[in-house]
Structure formats: structure tokens, C-alpha cells
């Protein structure tokens, strides 16, 4: 019998491999389960180099639109870039935005597409659900898109998204943003098959409600009388736009953290009782048990104590999240007054943040006209109110080393997009979507408002970068109190208007646009407008197209 002359080296190499595999299988976790996973849909619908074609085919579309406020799934056929998916679920989505669309007289709702709603074997190259966002309150058409791209490029686990031009039964409907839903497919793509627990903390008193949690639905009967503010018929806080006025841990007619309190949404530790955290646990997106609840509560307790942060926070991920988040100035968020629009991810007691819903970023939530305050928003006091009120960000500024790391990552972010690179990115996206915006029959703003919004967004970002650079080198104060004492150091934003980029006003500069008709085309729409080259119109359903197999 002959032996290989390098048999000793081969044996040593094999032994090393065995040792590595043994280590990877320790604690019941394999290498494959903790690695990010390529699903298949990333380079298809979420190819950002083009606008995708999405056609909805439904016999009773007019009836569906009339009942959109019910948010009930109905069957339809979806064609994505000429690939047919029959018998999938579609419903309208949104909270205040949904009611705002209805109140405005528009029919341009956001939609949720669930591929496996009627058949669990169906998916889109591994994707179970997508949102088709109507780009409301955003004249730039790219606040959500830009923020998700910045987050992803900076190392944050963020939803994939791309532009999609929707037609309904062969007729133009409008340009939407297709967004990967933060659910099972997202978790597998970002964290592997052995992913942890996911929550979307949100108070029903502040625009929460149906659809936030995997099994969570909101109707009149689900709100017990004890949860109403004494002497009123409304939940504490009054409406969807205002934060309640209860002190942390207080509630109306309930225990700490109950309805009327958003202490749990702020990720504050209340006590060890899971019932004190309804706005977290009722809005779980993964199946959880009592062990999961107690583990998260223990992490929140440690977070509020501000000690051994590395044990319960994914430090790098969370700091990178807040760098981008604070750059885009989004008050409709964890750092704002309403304290929502984020996902909380927990694995083995360690916490991280996942971005969601930035259509009111870049100052759009406040609706200011003077951009000076927003352009100079202090990076070291980015919270509306007391910093200690938001423990998930407070730890960054409670420790000098973490603050320095935060500043270092902010410097890295600015360097990535300096010398006009961010403006060039915006120009490239605007050029790609402009023909679709122009022919969009249901848009909330005029084409001229879109062009003005994009120009304003570019100028805002340049001024914002200039201000942050000054805050990092000390020439501009990085705190609210410091800026109040030295207003002359601030970057002048009087030349631009925040509202030009869109605001809480639904019409967003398009009050004169005609209301869409039942066909999806508004009366008085200019005739003879040709779609951009390669854009399908009136596609017929391809026959015999096989659905992708579930991956």
C-alpha cells in the first residue's frame, strides 16, 4: 500500500478542520445558523438599479379599494417583472396614513402582499411578505429609500427596498416603494436560521394597532373600559399624533406600563411582570414564551441600570443605527415624541435596533419651514425630552468611551459621503424614477413639487453634513443647551424650506391633482404620455409560468 508523501500535513489539516467544526457546534449552534443567508430575492425585486414592474390583477378591484380601511386580505394575482404569482393575499396597510388617504379623497393606499397567505408553499424566491408603500407625505419620493440604503451601506440590518411601478388590470396606478417586511425572511437573511426574537414596540394610543404584531389585531372590543382615560371616551393621550402625558410607569386604570403609558415602548425597565410590557409582548413578531419574556425583561433592567452594556447591547450595530438615524432627523421614531417606528431584535439577551418608516425624516414630522434648527439638530442630545427617558440611546452618552466611539462612527459616515457623493447618489436615484413620477396618475404631489423636493433634499443633506462636521470638531455645539448659548455658530438653513420635501400634510404640494377614478387614471390626465423604454403596459398574463419553489 502506498502512502501520500504529505500524509502528515494532510492529517494535521484534517484534525484542524475537525476542531473548528467541533467549536462551531458548541452550545448547539452551527456555523450555518449564525451566518447571514442569501435568500434569492435580494437580486431580483430588490435590484435597485431599475424600477420594477408590478401588476395587480383582480376582478373586483373597485370593491377592494372601497373596503381598504377594513385591512382584510383578499386574493389576487401579482406579476413581478413578468413572473406570475396567483392566489396571493393583498390588503391595505397603515395606521394614521391609511385613514389620512381615505380622508383626503385619494385611493392611493399602501398595500401588503403576503405570498403564502392562502398557500403556505408559495413565496417569492424565499420572501414571504412585502409592503408596497405609497410614498405619502414625501415630495422627494426617496426619504424611506435613501434612509434604508444609508443604513444598509453602514452595516445596519435594514429592510431591502426598491422602486416599483404598479399597474392594476393593465392600467397605470403609480410609483411605489417595495419594502421587505421585517419578518421571517428578513430574520433568516440577516441572522441565519437560528435567529432570535423580534418585537415592534408600539402603543395603541399612539398610532399602533392592527398588524404590528404577528397575531395582534385591534378592534373596538379589544380595548377594555378600564383602559379609557377617566371621564372620556378616548384613550389617554387623546389622538394618534400626541404623546401621552403620564409619567414613566404610570397608566390610566391599569398597572405600570399599561395602556396609557409608553414606558415599555421607550424600553424602560418597569418591573419583572410581563403584563407590565403589553406594548412590547403583544407586538411580538416571533412566537415567544415566558422564558423569552423574562430574558428580555432582564436585559431591559440591565439596560436601565447602564452597567455592563456589552452584555446586553450589540454595541456596534446600535451605534451605527443611531448615527444614520440621527443624521436623517426623524422625529417620528424612538427618539421623537411618539416613540415608535422601530423594531427591537433580541438574541440570547443581547439587543439591537432595526429601522422602519422614514417617510417623515429630514424634518418632515415637525413641518417646519425654517431648516436651521433641523439642519443643526445636535447629535449629542438627539432625544425629544430627557435623554435618560430613552435607555436604548442614553448609554451612548453616559460613558465617554461610547460617546467617542459614536463620534468616530459619525466621522466614518461623513467620510463615506463627502465631496458630493451623497448628492450624486440622490441625483442618480432621481434620474431613474423621474419618468415614472411624471406619469404617476395617483401621486400626492405635482412633478414640479417632486423636482423641488429633490433639490431641497440635496441641499439639506449637504448642510446637515457641514453642521455635523462642525459638531464633531467643536466649532458648533453638539448639544441643545450649547447651541442655545451660541446660536451664531450654527449653519444657516434659512435658504431652504423643510416642507418642500413633504410633511404631515398628505397632499404635500399637490392639492390640485385630480382624484383618481375607478380605473386608477384621474380625470383630465394628459393623453399620449408614453411609458419609459422597457416599461411594460397592459401586460397579458404569461401562461404556464411556474412559481419559484419555496427555499
* The pLDDT value given to residue 307: 87
Say if residues 497 and 364 touch (Cβ distance below 8 Å): no
C-alpha cell at 524: 383630465
Position 95 scores a pLDDT of 72
Adjacent-strand bridge partners of 99 = none
Residue 505 is predicted with a pLDDT of: 65
Q: How far is CA 47 from CA 40, 43, 181, in A?
A: 11, 5, 16
**Per-residue model confidence as pLDDT tens digits over 190-204:** 999 999 999 999 975
Backbone φ/ψ region at 89: left (φ over 0), alpha (ψ -120 to 50), beta: beta
Sequence-distant (≥ 6) Cβ neighbours of residue 1 within 8 angstroms: none
**How distant, in Å, are the alpha carbons of 56, 105, 199 from that of 132?**
12, 20, 21
Per-residue pLDDT, 8: 59
> How many residues in total does the chain contain?
551
Any idea what the Cα angle at residue 541 is, between residues 540 and 546, rounded to 5°? 155
CA 409/CA 149 separation, integer angstroms: 17
Give the SS3 label for residue 84. Answer: strand
Angle subtended at Cα 419 by Cα 413 and Cα 425, rounded to the nearest 5 degrees:
75
Query: Taking the alpha carbons of 264, 270, 272, 276 in that order, is the dihedral positive or negative?
Result: negative
Q: What is the pLDDT of residue 286?
A: 97
DSSP class of residue 251 equals -
**Sheet containing 342-347, strands listed edge to edge, beginning at the edge strand earlier in sequence:** 197-199, 342-347, 350-355
The span from the CA of 109 to the CA of 132, in Å, is 9
Contact 252, 229 (CB under 8 A): yes
For the chain, the distance separating the N- and C-terminal CA atoms, rounded to the nearest angstrom, is 46
Q: Quote the pLDDT of residue 385.
A: 87
* Chain centroid, CA 481 distance in Å: 30
Question: Cα–Cα distance between 526 and 206 in angstroms, integer?
Answer: 41
Rounded Cα distance between 153 and 458, Å, is: 19
Domain spans, the chain: 52-191
In the chain, % helix, strand, coil (3-state, to 5) comes to: 35, 15, 50
Q: Is 544 left (phi over 0), alpha (psi -120 to 50) or beta?
A: left
Find the angle CA(504)-CA(427)-CA(358) to the nearest 5 degrees: 30
pLDDT in tens, the chain (551 residues): 444 555 555 455 555 544 544 444 444 433 333 567 899 999 999 999 999 999 999 999 999 999 999 999 999 999 999 999 999 999 999 877 788 898 888 999 999 999 999 999 999 999 999 999 999 999 999 999 999 999 999 999 999 999 999 999 999 999 999 999 999 999 999 999 999 999 999 975 444 344 443 433 333 333 233 233 333 333 333 333 333 333 333 333 333 433 346 899 999 999 999 999 999 999 999 999 999 999 999 999 999 999 899 999 999 999 999 999 999 999 999 999 889 999 999 999 999 999 999 999 999 987 666 799 999 999 999 998 899 999 999 999 999 999 999 999 999 999 999 999 999 999 999 999 999 999 999 999 999 999 999 999 999 999 999 999 999 999 999 999 999 999 999 999 998 999 999 987 654 444 333 333 333 333 333 333 333 333 333 333 333 333 333 33
Q: Which of 93, 84, 88 is nearest to 117 (CA)?
A: 88
Q: Provide the pLDDT for residue 413.
A: 98
**Dihedral, CA atoms, 160, 32, 201, 336, nearest 10 degrees?**
-50
The reply to whether the predicted model has a pTM over 0.85 is no
pLDDT of residue 365: 87
**Cα–Cα distance measured from residue 138 to residue 359, given in angstroms and rounded to the nearest whole number:** 6
pLDDT at 100: 85
Q: What is the pLDDT of residue 537?
A: 35
C-alpha cell belonging to residue 508: 404635500
Residues whose CB is less than 8 angstroms from the CB of residue 102 and which lie 6 or more positions away in sequence, other chains included: 68, 69
Helices 400-416, 315-327: axis angle to 10 degrees equals 60
Residues 6+ apart with CB under 8 A from 468: 327, 379, 410, 414
User: What is the rounded distance in angstroms from the CA atom of residue 10 to the CA atom of residue 16?
Assistant: 10
Coil, helix or strand at residue 434: helix
Amino acid at each position: 500500500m502506498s502512502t501520500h508523501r504529505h500524509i502528515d500535513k494532510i492529517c494535521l489539516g484534517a484534525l484542524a478542520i475537525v476542531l473548528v467544526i467541533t467549536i462551531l457546534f458548541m452550545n448547539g449552534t452551527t456555523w450555518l445558523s449564525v451566518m447571514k443567508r442569501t435568500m434569492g430575492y435580494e437580486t431580483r425585486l430588490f435590484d435597485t438599479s431599475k424600477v420594477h414592474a408590478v401588476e395587480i390583477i383582480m376582478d373586483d378591484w373597485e370593491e377592494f379599494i372601497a373596503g381598504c380601511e377594513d385591512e382584510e386580505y383578499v386574493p389576487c394575482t401579482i406579476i413581478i417583472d413578468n413572473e406570475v404569482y396567483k392566489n396571493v393575499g393583498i390588503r391595505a396597510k397603515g395606521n394614521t396614513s391609511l385613514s389620512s388617504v381615505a380622508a383626503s379623497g385619494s385611493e392611493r393606499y399602501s398595500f401588503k402582499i403576503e405570498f403564502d397567505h392562502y398557500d403556505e408553499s408559495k413565496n417569492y424566491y424565499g420572501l414571504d411578505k412585502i409592503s408596497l408603500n405609497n410614498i405619502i407625505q414625501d415630495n422627494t419620493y426617496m426619504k424611506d429609500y435613501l434612509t434604508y440604503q444609508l443604513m444598509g451601506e453602514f452595516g445596519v440590518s435594514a429592510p431591502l427596498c426598491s422602486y416599483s411601478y404598479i399597474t392594476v388590470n393593465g392600467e397605470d396606478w403609480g410609483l411605489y416603494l417595495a419594502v421587505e417586511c421585517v419578518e421571517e425572511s428578513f430574520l433568516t437573511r440577516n441572522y441565519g436560521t437560528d435567529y432570535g426574537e423580534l418585537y415592534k414596540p408600539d402603543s395603541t394610543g399612539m398610532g399602533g394597532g392592527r398588524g404590528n404584531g404577528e397575531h395582534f389585531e385591534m378592534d373596538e372590543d379589544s380595548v377594555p373600559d378600564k383602559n379609557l382615560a377617566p371621564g372620556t371616551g378616548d384613550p389617554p393621550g387623546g389622538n394618534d399624533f400626541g404623546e401621552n402625558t403620564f409619567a414613566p410607569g404610570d397608566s390610566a386604570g391599569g398597572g405600570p406600563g399599561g395602556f396609557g403609558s409608553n414606558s415599555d415602548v421607550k424600553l424602560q425597565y418597569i418591573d419583572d411582570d410581563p403584563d407590565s410590557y403589553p406594548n412590547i409582548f403583544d407586538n411580538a413578531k416571533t412566537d415567544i414564551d415566558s422564558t423569552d419574556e423574562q430574558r428580555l425583561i432582564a436585559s431591559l433592567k440591565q439596560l436601565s441600570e447602564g452597567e455592563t452594556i456589552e452584555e446586553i447591547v450589540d454595541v456596534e450595530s446600535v451605534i451605527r443605527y443611531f448615527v444614520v438615524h440621527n443624521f436623517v432627523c426623524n422625529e417620528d421614531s424612538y427618539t421623537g415624541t411618539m416613540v415608535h417606528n422601530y423594531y427591537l431584535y433580541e438574541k440570547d439577551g443581547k439587543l439591537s435596533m432595526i429601522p422602519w418608516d422614514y417617510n417623515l425624516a429630514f424634518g418632515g414630522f415637525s413641518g417646519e419651514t425654517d431648516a436651521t434648527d433641523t439642519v443643526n439638530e445636535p447629535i449629542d442630545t438627539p432625544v425629544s425630552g430627557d435623554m435618560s427617558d430613552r435607555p436604548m440611546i442614553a448609554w451612548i452618552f453616559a460613558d465617554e468611551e461610547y460617546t467617542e466611539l459614536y463620534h468616530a462612527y459619525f466621522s466614518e459616515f461623513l467620510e463615506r459621503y463627502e465631496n458630493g457623493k451623497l448628492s450624486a447618489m440622490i441625483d442618480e436615484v432621481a434620474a431613474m424614477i423621474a419618468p415614472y413620477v411624471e406619469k404617476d396618475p395617483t401621486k400626492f404631489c405635482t412633478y414640479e413639487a417632486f423636482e423641488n423636493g429633490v433639490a431641497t433634499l440635496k441641499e439639506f443633506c449637504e448642510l446637515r453634513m457641514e453642521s455635523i462636521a462642525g459638531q464633531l470638531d467643536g466649532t458648533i455645539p453638539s448639544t441643545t443647551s450649547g447651541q442655545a448659548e451660541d446660536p451664531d455658530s450654527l449653519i444657516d438653513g434659512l435658504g431652504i424650506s423643510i416642507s418642500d420635501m413633504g410633511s404631515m400634510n398628505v397632499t404635500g404640494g399637490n392639492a390640485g391633482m385630480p382624484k383618481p377614478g375607478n380605473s386608477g387614471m384621474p380625470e383630465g390626465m394628459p393623453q399620449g404620455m408614453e411609458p419609459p423604454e422597457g416599461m411594460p403596459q397592459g401586460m397579458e398574463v404569461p401562461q404556464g409560468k411556474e412559481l419559484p419553489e419555496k427555499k
